[in-house]
Amino acid sequence: MTADSKVPPAGLARRDLIGLSAGAALAAGLTAAAQAETAQRSTTQPGPVPANAKPGRVAVKKRGAILLIGIDRVDAQNRMDPPITTGLGKAYYQLDHDDDLRVGILHGLGPDFSLGLDVPAFIAAAASGVLPPEDYIDPYGRRPPFRAKPVVVAVHGGVWSAAHELFLNADIRVAASDCTFNQDDVRRGAFPAGGATVRFTREAGWGNAMRYMLTGDTWGAEDARQMGLVHDITEPGKQLDRAIELAQKVAAAAPLGIRATLASAHQSLAGEEAALAASRTALLDIFKTEDLKEARKAAQEGRAPVFQGK
């Protein structure tokens, strides 16, 4: 893969459905327009994905020992479709298998990090039964192989649903002060199948996690920091620079020591693997429910869904 490239779309396995100063110099691969869009305050009003929305892509830019991984589907609020999820998995694979790389940075282009999944696109992919690429690591960390190298995430604007679960699967987290976080899957006839039921509960505590996962309410950057989910908060538009500063410190450390630290930490969490794996199967069952169909219909009609529990 070239130093500056777009990860090509590829198929997804059913199990992978749901269910990217010195800092300024490193970020120079981002276009001026993209940086300006990133600095905008998000409206954070998710709606149906536009019918004419283009397939998403992942912008991958290698800058020394750091791999910049950007979610790019601005015309659909960076709603993630199968090409984006595959692109993220391929980027994580590149990070792990390129000896010149030490750390990745996941970020989003446009006014939002991402407002979650493009559900119809994933339902269509599930029905097609297409195969995944071989050079792929699950970006949600629900099944092996797992990442052996660290990822810093820089978020801004809306960080919703599956996007929040990508955020939770990163190792170091930076947020702009304009962030709104949400895990509102239950409001849309689904559930958090990308790891939040495990990681959100573990890191924020049962009460904090359930307060948001069961109500679907949003919370802000300062709330996230108080719950231990965010390490640094910046002004909007500065989050990527701060993430790069932190990534440079990681890249300067001993790579074998970094790998051993991650591996040792993950060993203590080995019991989580069964729960993470089960979430993939549960999501496929959710895709078939009448409640999910009702949620999609209600969104199209601009009304609140009426769930029947079937």
Predicted pLDDT at 37:
40
What's the distance, CA 179 to chain centroid?
14
Of the chain, the end-to-end C-alpha distance in Å amounts to 46
Assess whether pLDDT exceeds 50 at residue 10.
Answer: no
d(CA 87, CA 6): 8
pLDDT, one tens digit per residue, over 101-112 is 999 999 999 999
Q: Tell me the whole-structure pTM to 2 decimals.
A: 0.78
Q: Say if CB 152 and CB 170 are below 8 A apart.
A: yes
pLDDT, one tens digit per residue, over 27-64 is 344 434 334 444 444 455 666 788 788 999 999 999 99
Can you read off the two tokens belonging to residue 160? 């919703």
Tell me which residue range forms the domain holding 89.
Answer: 4-301
Assess whether pLDDT exceeds 50 at residue 9.
Answer: no
In a domain, 163, yes or no: yes
pLDDT, one tens digit per residue, over 222-275 is 999 999 999 999 999 999 999 999 999 999 999 999 999 998 988 777 666 666
In a domain, 160, yes or no: yes
Q: SS3 of 150, please?
A: coil
- Model confidence at 1, pLDDT cuts 50, 70, 90, reads very low
**Which residues share a beta bridge with 159?**
114, 181
Predicted pLDDT at 215:
96
Q: How many domains does one find in the chain?
A: 1
pLDDT, one tens digit per residue, over 168-190 is 999 999 999 999 999 999 998 88
Predicted pLDDT at 297:
81
Closest to 93 (Cα-Cα) out of 39, 133, 51: 133
In a domain, 306, yes or no: no
Predicted pLDDT at 22:
35
What's the distance, CA 8 to chain centroid?
18
Q: Where are the alpha helices (DSSP H) in 10-158?
A: 22-26, 32-39, 82-97, 119-128
Measured from the Cβ of residue 254, the count of other Cβ atoms closer than 10 Å reads: 10
**Which residues share a beta bridge with 103?**
66
Predicted pLDDT at 15:
39
In a domain, 309, yes or no: no
d(CA 140, CA 107): 15
CATH number of the structural domain spanning residue 77:
3.90.226.10
Predicted pLDDT at 133:
62
Can you read off the two tokens belonging to residue 272? 């989580």
Tokens 């992978």 locate to 16
Instruction: Label residue 145 left, alpha or beta by phi (over 0 means left) and psi (-120 to 50 means alpha).
Output: beta
d(CA 39, CA 42): 9
In a domain, 136, yes or no: yes
DSSP-derived secondary structure for 142-177: -SSSPPSS-EEEEE-SEEETHHHHHHHTSSEEEEET
Measured from the Cβ of residue 187, the count of other Cβ atoms closer than 10 Å reads: 16
Report CA torsion sign: 257, 260, 262, 265.
Answer: negative
In a domain, 87, yes or no: yes
Q: Name residue 234's amino acid.
A: T
In a domain, 310, yes or no: no
In a domain, 307, yes or no: no
Q: Are strands 57-63 and 66-72 parallel, antiparallel or unpaired?
A: antiparallel
- Model confidence at 218, pLDDT cuts 50, 70, 90, reads very high
